[in-house]
Structure 1
Amino acid sequence: MTDQLEVTPATKAPETGGFGVRERTQTEIVVRRFLRHKLAVGSLVLLILIVIIAYGGAALWKYDLHSTPDISQPPSWEHPFGTDGPGHDWLARVLRGLQQSIKIALSVALIGTVLGTIWGSIAGYFGRHVDNALMRLADLVIILPGIAVAATLASLGEGTWWMIAVIIGGLASANVSRLIRGVVLSLREQDFIEAAKALGASDTRIILRHLVPNALGPTIVSATILVAVGILAETGLSFLGFGVQSPDTSLGLLVQEAAGAVNTRPWLFYFPGLFIILIALTINFIGDGLRDAFDPKQTRVRQ
């Protein structure tokens, strides 16, 4: 009850000793619980800083993706991340790769969450034969070796960032659909769904206006997890040569390019690898905080 009630000075309740009780909204409760999770809040701040560095730093930095000022230089004041063999400024390339990887990861989260939510909602709401057919399809997608399927599909195209995002997001939506389907199975038996049916609401309206909004908590948590999935999957595809293609770049492609020089010019490998690790860790901690914030049974305060 301490999360749901707040004591405030009262103007019309002198019998309570000058204090009244205000009930918090669900949004206030979720935000309050999330802010208690200090690791998640710190991770969110760090992730925002990384995004600002990726886009703001690239706009301010004097070199661009294709600049070749010096050949194979170690980190210095002139080139904080050093330069590669052809002489490209590595900071400029890392910033560009960071932009592309962030776009892919966010697009994967959006595509996978939207498709998975629709997929799972339809399966859970209609049940029976529709549920069986859609969940067997989800099982088929899940058991397939994702990286191999994604690499095969990516090899058929041009390696653009949006195509990579569509492929990864489409494959990831199967896992989201199973989660949302379980939530919808419990929601469809609630009284407010029966009331909506009795008032003549269509199936589409019930799914979009009643079921999907009430499954918002698990949906948001799934979306954050898919951001980490997206950036790691893109890294794997680009490292194997099936992701973003040159002359553009991504963090995964930079790691692949630097793999052969890890013993002679290790800075080329470590800087893009560090950003991959930071993004994946921050997203996981943010997802952990959101899971606790949306959990109605959560009472323990994270430190």
Structure 2
Amino acid sequence: MSDTERTQTQLVLRRFFRHRAAVTSLILLVMVTLFAFAGPLLWQYSYTDITDDLSLPPSPGHPFGTDLIGHDTFAQVMRGTQQSIKIALAIALIGTVFGTLWGAIAGLYRGKLDFLMMRLVDIVLTLPLIAVAAAVAAQGVGQSQWWAIAVVLGALTWPYVSRVVRSVVLSLREQEFIEAARALGAGNVRIILRHLLPNALGAIIVSATLAIATGILGEAALSFLGVGVQAPDTSLGLLVSINKDAVNTRPWLFYFPGLFIIAIALTINFIGDGLRDAFDPKQTRVRR
């Protein structure tokens, strides 16, 4: 089958799977996700269990060692990875949905509404993300829930998505199929939902992917500062934070959660690169 006979989805998937780094990263991310969500069901220890093995280095019984209290670090990293992924996905969902609608409306209507909406975006973009998020999250220290962290960070990351979507919509709104939809009586809401957003899907997916990476690092930063996920629950950032003083004496407590943060962020960034190349508008597309 030639490229001109392939559907748009087939072309995108074909380009993506040609990107070796993206495919490798996708496999690794799936493995990390299974480790986080299926691992606790199979592992003998819970992240809250206290064993008689104190400050043990990595061993067959405790692959990531134990801490001063006797917590199994392997179980804690599984729980921390699970919470960090949940927070990052929620951040990406909140930021992408709101940012996409904001950017699409601004790009379609233009004029004064576009000017006012994008000036608000500029204001939010000037705010230091971690500083503002930490200040807001600090108001609820002691009762911080993972979803609350996600809402705070999601409310600060949507402008990045809105700018990308607006730029795509500005080019799409001048296309003939939009004029044809208007001529057939389609309203602005229908044009946005049925015509603009589906054609901007590539940019939206790439933005959402990068928002997940931002969410992982943002959550880690907040938890490291002590205003993110709170004990007795845990996250990768919190594990790094509470074990930062043990980096020289019990390095396994610090490096294992740190490596998972780096691994997740890097794999998602590579996947985002692969998706960006796959959705590249300069590539040959199927005419419908």
TM range (shorter): over 0.9
* Paired positions, count: 281
User: Which position in structure 2 is the counterpart of 1:242?
Assistant: 227
Corresponding residue for residue 99 of structure 1: 82
Q: Which has the higher contact order (CA 8 A, sep 6+)?
A: 2
| 1:176 aligned partner | 161
State the distance in 2 between where 1:28 and 1:66 align: 46
Per-residue CA deviation, residues 104-134 of structure 1 (Å, 9 max, x unaligned), is 1111111111111001001000001110111
Contact 1:3 1:29 in 2 (8 A): no
For 1:128, the equivalent position in structure 2 comes to: 111
Confirm whether residue 75 of structure 1 aligns to residue 74 of structure 2.
no
1:38 to 20, 36, 39: 20
1:55 is the counterpart of 2:37: yes
Query: 1:119 aligned to 2:118?
Result: no
What TM-score do the two structures reach when normalised by structure 2?
0.95
Does the alignment pair 1:283 with 2:265? no
Please state how far the C-alpha of 1:298 moved relative to its aligned partner: 4.4
Runs of 4+ aligned residues of structure 1 deviating over 3 Å after TM superposition are: none
**Identity percentage over the alignment?**
64
Query: Residue 20 of structure 1 aligns with which residue?
Result: none
Which of 128, 135, 146 is the aligned partner of 1:152?
Answer: 135
**In structure 2, distance between residues paired with 1:107 and 1:230:** 8
Q: Distance in 2 between matches of 1:290 and 1:3?
A: 21
- Counterpart residue identity of residue 39, structure 1: A
CA distance in 2, matches of 1:47, 1:56: 14
Structure 2 unaligned spans of 5+: none
Q: 5+ residue gaps in structure 1? A: 6-22
CA RMSD between the two structures: 1.2
Q: Deviations over 1:268-295 (max 9, x none)?
A: 0010001001101100110000000000
Give the match's secondary structure for 1:156.
helix
1:257 is displaced (CA, Å) by 0.7
- 1:4 to partner: Cα distance: 2.1
Q: Distance in 1 between matches of 2:181 and 2:62?
A: 63
